Amino acid sequence: MQEAVNQGMQGNAAMKRGDFTSAATHYGEAVDLYRKLGDDTGLVRALIFQGAAAQKLGGFASAATHHAESAGLFRKLGEDTGLALAHVV
């Protein structure tokens, strides 16, 4: 679990630096780890950030895919605020 958290934090740091390629890589690692752990709460947040990084890189189709998956998870988790966020970003 800690490695997934660390990957997400490294992704956040890369986003702040404007290094969107590195951010996308770190968020992708976090997504993979959260999937393996079965942690939907961590996964949904990593997907939102992965979508944001993809969007910054001009990968709009990829971003839409990540945001759509996160919307489904937010719905499953009953998180209305997250669901709204998934449709805005």
Rounded mean pLDDT, 62-84? 87
Distance CA 48, CA 61 (A): 14
Closest CA to 83 of 36, 38, 45, 29: 45
**What is the structure's pLDDT at 81?**
76
Q: Where are the domains of the chain?
A: 2-88
CA 21 from centroid of its chain's CA atoms: 14
In tens, the pLDDT along 22-69 reads 999 999 999 999 999 999 999 999 999 999 999 999 999 999 999 999
In CATH terms, is domain 2-88 a member of 3.40.640.10?
no
pLDDT at 88: 59
Of the pLDDT bands very low, low, confident and very high (cuts 50, 70, 90), residue 2 is: very high
Give CA angle at 88 (83, 55), nearest 5°: 115
pLDDT at position 17: 97
pTM exceeds 0.85: yes
